[in-house]
Amino acid sequence: MRYDIEFKGSYSLLKVQLNSGEELTVEPGAMVYMRGPIEVETSTGGIWKALKRSFLGGESFFMNKYVSRGESEIGIAPQLPGDIEIVPVNGTLFVQSTSYLASETSIDIDVSFGGLKTFFSGEGIFLIKLLGYGETAISSFGGIKPLELGVGERITIDTGHIVAFDGSMSWNVRTFGGVKSTLFGGEGLVCDFQGPGKIYMQTRNYPAFVQWIRSLVPRETGSR
């Protein structure tokens, strides 16, 4: 299996070349094209996990598995304009739901709760939890910046800029400063990370962008 990222930057396209017998799990709707002898198998991957992905993680109930029967190729792209990164999974990797794109079939896909503070704020309620060993493709809104923390190193990141992070890290979601800072400082929730491990951040904030778009839409006054 060989990966090649074309148009890297704002409008990335992932090209995956498969040998006979190789398999790839792909987020539904992400396939741009495929050529060669490829079979597509659509399944839930387990009813309970499918229910969690769909109703808790905001993901599709079904997942698509592409099985190559010879030399073949598949092109994959995310819904949002941004970058793509190939990331190794060595045990556990947490990915925000809009950033999961594809993974090797040796990796199991589950959902993890992000904490009560994320629940009440509406930001990143659940995370996609990848378990196993292999490689996965993640995407971002904007560019991707990887950052590796050593043992005991700490960093604070706005939750809207988190793409993925290693399961080896300890992390905690909290409000930004006090009540005044949270309400009027332009920030909502932040996440404190402590190494060792690697974090992948995105340069743009998808929830903030959605709120900005909504602010441009004329509001109905109730009178006609």
pLDDT at residue 7 in the model: 92
Domain count for the chain: 1
Per the domain annotation, does 175 fall within a domain? no
pLDDT, tens digit (0-9, with 9 covering 90-100), for 130-177:
999 999 999 999 999 999 999 999 999 998 899 999 999 999 888 876
pLDDT at residue 175 in the model: 83
Per the domain annotation, does 173 fall within a domain? no
Per the domain annotation, does 70 fall within a domain? yes
Helices (H), 22-162: 47-51, 116-121
pLDDT at residue 50 in the model: 47
Q: How far is CA 185 from the centre of its chain?
A: 27
**Buried/exposed code over 29-66 (b: 16+ C-beta within 10 A; e: otherwise):** ebbeebeeebeeeeeebeeebbebbeeebebeeebbeb
pLDDT, tens digit (0-9, with 9 covering 90-100), for 73-124:
999 999 889 999 999 999 999 998 889 999 999 999 888 765 544 433 444 4
pLDDT at residue 121 in the model: 41
pLDDT at residue 36 in the model: 96
Q: Kindly report the number of other CB atoms within 10 A of residue 121's CB atom.
A: 18
Token reading at 111? 């959902």
Token reading at 183? 């309400």
Domain CATH code at residue 22: 3.60.160.10
Per the domain annotation, does 165 fall within a domain? no
pLDDT, tens digit (0-9, with 9 covering 90-100), for 196-212:
999 999 998 877 777 77
Per the CB < 8 A criterion, the answer to whether 127 and 164 are in contact is no
CA distances from 169 to 155, 196, 199 (A): 11, 6, 9
pLDDT at residue 205 in the model: 84
- Cα–Cα distance measured from residue 147 to residue 120, given in angstroms and rounded to the nearest whole number: 28
Per the domain annotation, does 185 fall within a domain? no
- Cα–Cα distance measured from residue 219 to residue 58, given in angstroms and rounded to the nearest whole number: 27
- Cα–Cα distance measured from residue 61 to residue 109, given in angstroms and rounded to the nearest whole number: 12
Per the domain annotation, does 37 fall within a domain? yes
Per the domain annotation, does 210 fall within a domain? no
User: Are β-strands 126-139 and 107-113 bridged in parallel, bridged antiparallel, or unpaired?
Assistant: antiparallel
How far from each other are the two terminal CA atoms of the chain, in whole angstroms?
Answer: 60
Per the CB < 8 A criterion, the answer to whether 190 and 158 are in contact is yes
pLDDT, tens digit (0-9, with 9 covering 90-100), for 17-68:
999 999 999 998 899 999 999 999 886 555 445 444 444 445 555 688 999 9
Per the domain annotation, does 200 fall within a domain? no
Per the CB < 8 A criterion, the answer to whether 109 and 137 are in contact is no
Supply the range of the domain harboring residue 16. 2-143
